[in-house]
Amino acid sequence: MATSGGQSRVDWRSWRSWPGFLAASWRSSLQFRTVTITVVLSGIAIVLVGAYTSASVGNDLFQSRLGQVLLDSNRATASAQGILDSSDAIDRVQVQALQDSASSAISTASSSSMIALFRVPGQDPSTVAPQDFSKFGDSTGAISLDLQAAVQEHGGDQYWQSVTFQDDDGSEYPGVIVGSQLRLPVAGRYELYIGYSLRDAESTLSFLQQTLLISGLALILLIGAVTWIVVRFVVTPIRVAAETSQKLASGDLEVRIPEKGEDVIATLARSFNGMADSLQSQIKELAELSEVQQRFVSDVSHELRTPLTTIRLAGDVLFDQRAVFPPAAGRTAELLHTQVERFELLLADLLEISRYDAGSVSLDPEPTNLVHLAEDVIDGMRSLGESKGIDLRLVAPGGHLNAEVDPRRIRRVLQNLIGNAIEHGEGKPVVVSVDSNQNSVAIAVRDYGLGMSQTEVTHVFDRFWRADPSRQRTIGGTGLGLAISREDASAHGGWLQVWSSPGEGSCFRLTVPRRAGDAVTASPLPLPPDDIGGPHV
C-alpha cells in the first residue's frame, strides 16, 4: 500500500496506538510525510524568527527605558543637589528638614517612590548628619554591594544596576536602580539610590510574545492546511496512477487512468494508458498465439489417435507372430511394439496436458482413503520395483486419512512419483509416507537414489524436461509426467513439491485439502524429509 494512503485503523482514545499509527502513516502516505516535513521546518523557522524578534524588541524596550530612567534620575539628583547647595542649614533639625525636602524633590522629579539615602562610610562622624533611610521596602537588599562600592568611590557619576524587585504580596518584577552621590551641607556625602520599575516594559514584552506565539501557531496551522490541500491536488492523481498500475500488474488489463487537462499529470496518464494499450494488445496477441498452439497440439494429438490405433493393431499382430519371423524382422517387430506403446503414452499425456491448457479439466471428487489408494498403487507397482531390486514401503501413522479427491488423478500422480522413484532409486528402498492434519492430507514419495542438483530441481516440473537425456530409461516416461502431476495437484487446490540432493535421493510431496474447494495452508509431512542420510525404516 505504498501510495494508496491506506493507513491502519487507529483508536484515537488510546494514545498508545498513536506512535504505531504515525509511523505507519509516515511510511505509507506521501501526503502525510510532505505535510509533516513542511510543518516541522516552517515551525522551526517561525520559532527562530519569533525568538529573534522577541529578544531584539525586549532589548530595545529595555535600552529605551534605561535611557529614560538615567535621564530622570539625573534630573532628580541635580534638582535635589540644587536645593541642598542653596541651603544654609547648620544644625541637626535644619539638616534633617533639608534632607526631607531634597528627598521629596527627588521623588517628584523622578516619579519614583523607591529612594534610599545612605551616608557614605569613612567620613568623620557628624552629630548633625541625618539618619540613613530607605523606601525600597522588601527590596532594599536588591542594592548590590558592587553598585554601592562604585557609588561610594566615584561620587560624580551615575551607576545603574538591573534588579528584580519584590512587591508587598511577594510577586517579583524587573527594575533598575540608579545610584549617585548627594552632598549635604555640614553632614557630608550621601549615597542616593532611586529604584525604577520596568513593569510596563515587561508587560509590553509579554504581550508581544503572546501575540507572536498565537500568530506563530496560527501560521503553522495555516501552512499545514495549505500544504495538505496542495499536496492532495498533486498526490491524488499519482495515487490513482499507482492504484491503476497495481491493478494492471495484477492482471486487470482493462484499467486506465482518466486523462484530464494538459499538465504533467495528464501527460503521465496518457503515456501510462498508451503503455497499457500496447501491453494489452501484445498480451492478447500472445494469448491468441498460445491458444492457437494449444489447439494445434490438441488437434494433432486427436488426429494422430486413429492412425496410431491402426498402427498399434497392426503392430500387435506382428508382435504376436514375431516367433515365426527371421530374427532381424522379429527384433524389428519388438522395437515397433515398444515404440508404439511409448507413442501412445506420449499422445495420452499430450491430450491430458492440452485439456489442462484449455481449462477443460473438471474433477470428480469423492471421499477416498489415501492410505488404501497408496497401498493399491504400491501393490500394482511392486513387481516393477522388484525387477529393479527395489523394496517399496508404506508408512502411514494413521489418523484421519480420508479426503475428498479425484482418486483417478491422485492415483496417476502416485504412479508417476513411484515410477520415477523406482527409475532413479538405484535399487535402494522407496518409502511412501501418508499423513494428515486437520485440513489436509499429504503423501510423500522418498527415494535414496541419484537425486538432482538445485538447477535440475528448478526444472523438474517443466514439460519435456529430463535431468539427463542420456540416462538409461527403462520405464519409458514421456517427460510430461511431473508437469501433469503438478496440474493434478493444483486442480485439487493442493501442492506438489520436491526436495532433492545429488547422491541423497529425492522426496516428492503431494499435499491436498481434505475438503474439495478448500485451500492448503500447511503440509502434515516435512520437506526436506527428516531422514536425509538414509532410510529410518
Residue 140 carries which DSSP code?
G
Query: Is residue 421 involved in binding ligand ADP (CB under 6 A)?
Result: yes
Query: Is residue 420 involved in binding ligand ADP (CB under 6 A)?
Result: yes
**Of 71-79, 124-132, 190-198, 444-452, which segment contacts ligand ADP by CB under 6 A?**
444-452
Nearest to 194 by CA among 236, 125, 134: 134
**Contact of 182 with 117, CB cutoff 8 Å:** yes
Least spacing, CB of residue 489 vs ligand ADP, in Å: 13
In terms of CB distance, is 157 or 462 closer to ligand ADP?
Answer: 462
| Cell (9 digits) for 55 | 529578544
Query: Is residue 511 involved in binding ligand ADP (CB under 6 A)?
Result: no
Least spacing, CB of residue 533 vs ligand ADP, in Å: 17
Nearest to 381 by CA among 432, 316, 343: 432
Query: Is residue 29 involved in binding ligand ADP (CB under 6 A)?
Result: no
Q: Phi, psi at residue 527, to the nearest 5°?
A: -145, 120
Distance, in Å, from the CA atom of 112 to the CA atom of 370, rounded to the nearest integer, reads: 108
Query: Is residue 433 involved in binding ligand ADP (CB under 6 A)?
Result: no
Least spacing, CB of residue 362 vs ligand ADP, in Å: 23
Least spacing, CB of residue 447 vs ligand ADP, in Å: 5
Query: Is residue 506 involved in binding ligand ADP (CB under 6 A)?
Result: yes
Distance, in Å, from the CA atom of 457 to the CA atom of 501, rounded to the nearest integer, reads: 9
Least spacing, CB of residue 289 vs ligand ADP, in Å: 25
Q: Phi, psi at residue 279, to the nearest 5°?
A: -60, -45
In terms of CB distance, is 235 or 496 closer to ligand ADP?
Answer: 496
Query: Is residue 429 involved in binding ligand ADP (CB under 6 A)?
Result: no
**Contact of 192 with 115, CB cutoff 8 Å:** yes
Which residues, numbered 119-178, are part of the site for ligand ADP (CB under 6 A)?
Answer: none
Total residues interacting with ligand ADP, rule: CB under 6 A? 19
Query: Is residue 447 involved in binding ligand ADP (CB under 6 A)?
Result: yes
* Half-sphere exposure of residue 535: CA atoms within 13 angstroms, side-chain side: 18
Query: Is residue 460 involved in binding ligand ADP (CB under 6 A)?
Result: yes
Show the site string, 174-213: x = touches ligand ADP by CB under 6 A, - = not: ----------------------------------------
**Of 38-46, 111-119, 398-406, 445-453, which segment contacts ligand ADP by CB under 6 A?**
445-453
* Member of 105, 142, 450, 512 binding ligand ADP (CB under 6 A): 450
Distance, in Å, from the CA atom of 1 to the CA atom of 6, rounded to the nearest integer, reads: 6
Show the site string, 358-397: x = touches ligand ADP by CB under 6 A, - = not: ----------------------------------------
* Member of 65, 411, 424, 509 binding ligand ADP (CB under 6 A): 424
In terms of CB distance, is 365 or 419 closer to ligand ADP?
Answer: 419
Query: Is residue 482 involved in binding ligand ADP (CB under 6 A)?
Result: yes
CA dihedral 378, 381, 385, 390 (to 10 degrees): 0
Distance, in Å, from the CA atom of 176 to the CA atom of 194, rounded to the nearest integer, reads: 8
| Cell (9 digits) for 420 | 520415477
Tell me, what amino acid is at 441? V
Least spacing, CB of residue 478 vs ligand ADP, in Å: 5
Least spacing, CB of residue 482 vs ligand ADP, in Å: 3
Distance, in Å, from the CA atom of 116 to the CA atom of 165, rounded to the nearest integer, reads: 14
In terms of CB distance, is 174 or 479 closer to ligand ADP?
Answer: 479
How is 433-457 classified by DSSP, letter by letter?
Answer: EEEE-SSEEEEEEEE-SS---HHHH
- 508 CB-near residues (< 8 Å, 6+ apart): 417, 420, 421, 444, 445, 496, 497, 498
Please identify which residue in the block is written with the cell numbers 494469448: 287
**Of 87-95, 182-190, 253-261, 473-481, which segment contacts ligand ADP by CB under 6 A?**
473-481
> Which H or E element spans position 431?
strand 430-436
The residues binding ligand ADP (CB under 6 A) are 416, 420-421, 424, 447, 449-450, 452, 460, 465-467, 477-479, 481-483, 506
